Chain A
Amino acid sequence: MDKTIQRIIEEVAREKGIDVGFLLRVVQLEETKAHLTRRHGLFDEIREISRKYAQREIDSKKGLEKNED
């Protein structure tokens, strides 16, 4: 991906408080499933990675809470 676009992705992710890794992973998935006949299973995979990133966020919050305790 073009460097400018990469920079914009990072910029927007930071502004919206999203893990840039998640956005890049979604882009990567879209790229491999880009062709019309190849989109089967795309939603399951995004659902799975969003679950992982959400879990990571929850764990990180819990970790912070523990540290605060």
Chain B
Amino acid sequence: MKIKTLELKNFRPYYGDIKLNFPVEGDTPICLIHGHNGYGKTSLFYALNWCLYGHEKLKDAFEYFNISAREEERPSMSVKIVFDDNGREITVLRRIISNKPINSIRDLANAELVVFDKGRKIQTQDDQVLQEFVNDILPLEASQFSFFDGEKIETYSSDNVAEETQGAIASVLGLTLLTKAQDDLGKLAIELDRDRRRLLERAQDGKVLADEMFILDQDIDEGRKQKSERELEYKKLLSVESSLQDQLVSQEAAKSILSDIKELEEKINSANERKVELVIEIKEASKSLYLDILEPVIADQVAIAQRSRDNLISMHIESVRDETIQNLMQKIEQSGICICGRVADTKHINFIRSALELSDGGDANHLNSTEIDQIKQLTTQLESALNLSRGKISYAELAAKLGLIENELDELETSLAAKKSQLGGVDEEAVSSLAGALEKTQKDKRKIDQEIGSIEKTISDNLAKKRKLEAKISGISGQVHGLDLLNCQLQLLEKSSEAFGEIVRRSALAKQGEIQDASTGFFRNITNKAFGYERMMINDDFSFGVETYQKTRPPMALISAGEKQVTALSFILGLNEFTRRQAPIFMDTPMGRLDETHRRNVAKVLFDLAKMGRQIILLVTDTDIAFGVYSILKPGVGAEFEIVHNQENLTSKIQKRIL
């Protein structure tokens, strides 16, 4: 079923006539209605609801009436919706036409409902018949999961949603009727009880019995009232307990994280110390003049020999013995400083060359003994420098070690940052006070539980007394005509009222699993933790939860506000699948507190629904469609409108945007 057109006249800020044509054919069933806050988006949402279901209070209708239009001679307000139900056209029109200006609620004429089915007006004097027809198109209970706003998402995002969830499941399944039946039978039983008292007073001893019964009923009522108050208190404590337990779990988790952090910080300190030592060593190594000179030579040899660094020294000695002597000498000449630290003049260079030749078994006969001694001394210096260089050459190893330590530090610091982000500002000291608060709550809970038990016993005693009294009343029922019947009727009403309560509870439980599965389908598509969360839960007490692939269920206290909105929206969309009619999804500013990823995921889900032929009408602000949301929806968008607001007379118009 799709909305073909929506027409408004003098509704809220819309002064005059407004008509919106929505796309109903083809593969672009998405419609975007853009508008800033306060321009009249929500008024469109109200208009749909008013047209279909009317108003609860006259005050609402008065407020819907456009202020300027109220002053006209024959003011009128109307909303008309044309539905396309697989080719069948259904028109619903609700209007108010007054024959004088509307200055107060009293001047408001009655609202009139007009319905056309396949172009033919449904003729009836009874508005109830028409309303029944509209309800059949889209039941009121179900419509709240097709037409909804951010407020509804907020409602299901709050911490204590159990009651609302059960109510929502009940209403979508049509169980609201059963709840109403329960209430109505209870109220009628009270009325009949009054009748019975009047009848009883006519019988002999009847007045005494009636008075006894009256007092007993009062006691039972009072007991039930006390019980329900206590139960409410118990429920609140239960929720406090659960929240405290969740907090405690998170605090306990925090304690373990804190210990991990401490350990990581110690490791980081130790690695840093090692790093400092290494850096000093490396600096020392690089300071060595010998190293400065020799390293480029070694580097050349590395390139030539392609050998491992471990063999550098021996390789170098080899090199010195053959072709690198020239190279080494050239370096010394270029730098002007020798490996022993002296100025490398020609004489000194010759000494070195001779020393090298000598160490290589060369002929040094041309040298005198002093020179030979000097050369030997120099050779010793050179050898010791080479030996020193063997240690210093481990520069590369040191650098490699430093690299390893830096990698280790990187890893440790990444782990530390991750742990700190998990911590989320939890105060370790709060753990003990939380445990104390939890203990106190549990104590209070036990006390209230005992009180409930005691109240229940009193009620049960009074009910037993009542049954005895009923028996006495039955005994004298023959004395008064109709008393017997009234007794039986009363019992039937009381039992049936209780029965309806039980039916609602059992039915909601029976359907809960199916709705959970449908909601999970949406949840997994919207959540940005699809690889972490396996499904969303609707627990036995109708509260929400999430389950991971490891089958753990993180406490909802640890779930962010945005994620709670995701569960809420998934639940609403899941419930929507259970409505009898596939109504259009009409969402008013749906993105709320969702982050960019979630917004895009919601857009994808809506686009997928649109691809399956579902009509989607979105009332959006600029921020709702930012972050790539618009481009995701765009291929499915068949129409776009813009609400234009006149600040002077506070009225709004809607213009079609050219696509």
Contact = CB atoms under 8 A, between A and B. Distances in A.
Contact of A37 (B54, B484, B500, B511): B54
A2 B492 CA distance: 25
Interface residues of A, number: 35
A54 B188 contact: no
Q: Give the interface centre of B54, B181, B500 by most chain A CB atoms within 10 Å.
A: B181
B131 A37 contact: yes
Given A5-B178, A18-B495, 13 more contacts: A2-B511, A16-B502, A18-B499, A22-B492, A23-B503, A30-B178, A34-B140, A35-B135, A37-B127, A37-B131, A42-B184, A51-B489, A54-B488
28 contacts: A1-B174, A2-B511, A5-B173, A5-B178, A8-B510, A12-B499, A12-B502, A16-B495, A16-B499, A17-B495, A18-B499, A23-B499, A26-B185, A27-B177, A27-B178, A32-B132, A34-B135, A35-B132, A37-B131, A38-B132, A46-B185, A50-B492, A50-B496, A51-B489, A53-B489, A54-B488, A54-B491, A58-B488
Interface string A43-69: 100110011011101100000000000
A55 to B, nearest CB: 6
Given A26-B185, A30-B181, A50-B493, A36 B56 contact: yes
Nearest to B486: A54
B488 A57 contact: yes
A35 B54 CA distance: 9
Contacts of A22: 492, 496
B interface, size bucket: 35 or more
A27 B498 CA distance: 14
B180 interface: yes
B557 interface: no
Interface string A1-26: 11011001101110011100011001
B506 interface: yes
Interface string B472-512: 00000000000011001101110110111011001100110
Given A31-B177, A53-B492, A58-B488, A4 B184 contact: no
A34 B495 contact: no
Contacts of A58: 484-485, 488
Contact of B503 (A8, A31, A43, A50): A8
Contact of B188 (A9, A13, A35, A50): A50
Report, nearest first, the 5 A-B pairs whose CB atoms are least far apart: A54-B489, A54-B488, A30-B177, A38-B128, A5-B507
A43 B191 contact: yes
B192 A47 contact: yes
Contacts of B192: 47
A5 B128 contact: no
Nearest to A1: B174
Nearest to A40: B128
Contacts of B511: 2, 4
Contacts of A27: 177-178, 181
